A and B are shown apart, each in its own frame.
Chain A
């Protein structure tokens, strides 16, 4: 931290090593990861098929209506989260980069604005998912944590997806 030059050279070194995207900067981004007990094909389907997404997306107690979800670069995604108290939360995103079974990048264009990068790592019978939400400034990150509890939201999204997948795996076993 003390030496900014060292910092940037370290980051570059790591980018080439990982060979994918950016590093999570704790000052402006949220990060969460899980090893999911399902093969990457199923994890991918559960993330990209709106019927599946509506079943696990959002905080505890919320339901969802997805009117549009075109999973391709430039494709639009419109999702309304219905809160337990009846409040609707409209979400509009645009997909930026899609690499099947590997990576989804989307920009959340309605407020709060952020870029999400979701990486999928095939581990055989299991899949690791790494989820980064990149905000524009430390102030914006603080605001989404204070107002929307986005840090808890990210963890709940991962937990709910994990739970939904294990239900699917049990049902098909």
Chain B
């Protein structure tokens, strides 16, 4: 079996749409299928993957199957993205400091020049 984690869950555009739809609240499989130009089988397969990845939970209610989003594992994806955001921020900080350094050096240079005159 291929990897089953949050990244596998969000790798497919249809699965991202399903997660978005379910983030508004639980729905039956039929209501999920309504949104897509896919066969019921294809939607069921996506839901199966989402369940295995732990971001959707399904239970029976009478004759219907209800899908519920579990959004906590999405944190994992957010944290992973955050690392790059932090790295970017650090680079920006370094650039900021470097620019400041350059400017103060030039100012000192300017000052010493003006004092020479």
Residues of A with C-beta under 8 A to B34: 18, 23-24, 31, 33, 130, 132
Question: Is A61 close to B, CB under 8 A?
Answer: no
The residue on A at minimum CB distance from B68 is A35
Q: How far is the CA of A40 from the CA of B29 in the complex (A)?
A: 19
Would A14 and B64 count as touching, CB distance under 8 A?
no
Q: Is the CB of A17 within 8 A of B37?
A: no
- CB of A128 within 8 A of CB of B28, answer yes
Q: How far is the CA of A155 from the CA of B25 in the complex (A)?
A: 11
Residue among A17, A124, A132, A155 making CB contact with B61, cutoff 8 Å: A124
Instruction: Compute how far the CA of A121 lies from the CA of B31 in the bound complex, rounded to whole angstroms.
Output: 9
Check A10–B24 contact: CB distance below 8 A: no
Which single member of B17, B37, B42, B61 contacts A23 (CB below 8 Å)?
B37
Question: Is A13 engaged at the interface, CB distance under 8 Å to the other chain?
Answer: yes
Q: How many residues of B contact A (CB 8 A)?
A: 22
- List residues of chain B with CB within 8 A of the CB of A24: 34-36
Tell me whether B40 and A17 are in contact (CB under 8 A): yes
Q: How far is the CA of A108 from the CA of B25 in the complex (A)?
A: 27
Sample of 6 further A-B pairs with CB below 8 A, known A17-B40, A121-B31, A123-B61: A18-B34, A23-B34, A23-B37, A26-B36, A35-B66, A121-B28
Report B's interface with A, CB cutoff 8 A.
Answer: 17, 21, 24-28, 30-31, 33-40, 42, 61-62, 64, 66
Pick 24 A–B contacts, CB within 8 A, sort by A.
A10-B38, A10-B39, A11-B37, A14-B38, A17-B40, A23-B34, A24-B35, A26-B17, A26-B35, A32-B24, A34-B25, A35-B25, A35-B26, A35-B28, A35-B66, A121-B28, A123-B28, A123-B61, A124-B62, A128-B27, A128-B28, A128-B30, A130-B31, A158-B24
